[in-house]
């Protein structure tokens, strides 16, 4: 770890206060330093992900910008998905509700985007072979071709980047990344019952500052 200070610059006192608070809760200062570095990296990554740099680059490189936008591309990918691509179990058929769940969007928005793709000839609604009462969504040949092209683009980019890593680095990173992703996806990761005294202290500090 770097030195004794948690941060160089104007926020050093704030981070030192945070470290003291966490230390009193039983969290080592080295863990706090690591947490701060991880959080800073995640914030940078989140900003890049939110800008959808890779998706924009794919649409531009594949000359798809005039045909679909990023939201429609997401729906194409979610329609094609085996399920595991979105961190869920594979499903034999895709419904609008399936797409909404995979993308974590409102079903009405998913339905509207599916309708837009149908109008563009990239998807179609059809009757389920498993339950004739259900309507499912499938890709047309053009929609499937777009998904395949974007996947090839994405994994060319990712593959080139990871080619600069050693096998040992990759073998170390993947299980640790999966472990961290599982923690961040756990809605029950923490709660007042885990740190009742600390949560009350945090709440008390807020109560002490009046609402404008």
Owning domain of residue 121? 53-159
Q: Which of 122-126, 142-146, 201-205 has the lowest mean pLDDT?
A: 201-205
Q: Do β-strands 135-139 and 123-127 pair in parallel, antiparallel, or remain unpaired?
A: antiparallel
Q: Which residues are CB-neighbours of 90 under 8 A, at least 6 positions away?
A: 82, 83, 84
Q: Is 208 a domain residue?
A: no
Q: How many independent structural domains does the chain possess?
A: 2
User: Do 17 and 57 have their domain in common?
Assistant: no
Contact call for residues 73 and 150 (beta carbons, < 8 A): yes
3-state secondary structure of 199: helix
Q: Is the pTM of this model over 0.95?
A: no
Calpha distance 105→77 (Å, rounded)? 14
Element spanning 3, H or E:
none
User: Do 10 and 103 have their domain in common?
Assistant: no
Calpha distance 86→153 (Å, rounded)? 18
pLDDT in tens, 86-106: 655 566 789 999 999 999 999
Of 135, 112, 137, 133, give the one whose Cα is nearest residue 124. 137
User: Do 69 and 121 have their domain in common?
Assistant: yes
The length of the chain in residues reads 212
User: Do 27 and 118 have their domain in common?
Assistant: no
pLDDT in tens, 17-64: 999 999 999 999 999 999 999 999 999 998 988 889 999 999 999 999
User: Do 23 and 77 have their domain in common?
Assistant: no
Determine the pLDDT at residue 5: 47
Determine the pLDDT at residue 105: 95
């Amino acid at each position: 770890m770097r030195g004794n200070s948690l941060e160089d610059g104007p926020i050093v006192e704030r981070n030192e206060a945070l470290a003291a608070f966490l230390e009193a809760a039983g969290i080592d200062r080295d863990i706090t330093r690591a947490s701060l570095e991880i959080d800073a990296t995640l914030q940078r990554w989140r900003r890049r992900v939110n800008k959808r740099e890779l998706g924009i680059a794919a649409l531009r490189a594949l000359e798809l910008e005039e045909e679909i936008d990023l939201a429609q591309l997401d729906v194409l990918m979610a329609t094609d998905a085996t399920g595991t691509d979105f961190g869920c179990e594979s499903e034999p058929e895709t419904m609008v509700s399936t797409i909404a769940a995979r993308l974590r969007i409102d079903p009405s928005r998913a339905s509207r985007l599916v309708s837009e793709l149908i109008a563009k000839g990239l998807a179609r609604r059809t009757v389920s072979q498993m339950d004739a009462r259900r309507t499912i969504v499938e890709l047309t040949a053009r929609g499937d071709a777009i998904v395949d092209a974007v996947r090839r683009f994405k994994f060319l980019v990712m593959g080139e980047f990871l080619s600069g890593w050693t096998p040992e680095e990759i073998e170390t990173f993947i299980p640790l990344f999966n472990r961290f992703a599982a923690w961040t996806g756990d809605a029950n990761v923490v709660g007042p019952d885990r740190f009742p005294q600390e949560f009350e202290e945090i709440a008390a500090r807020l109560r002490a500052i009046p609402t404008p």
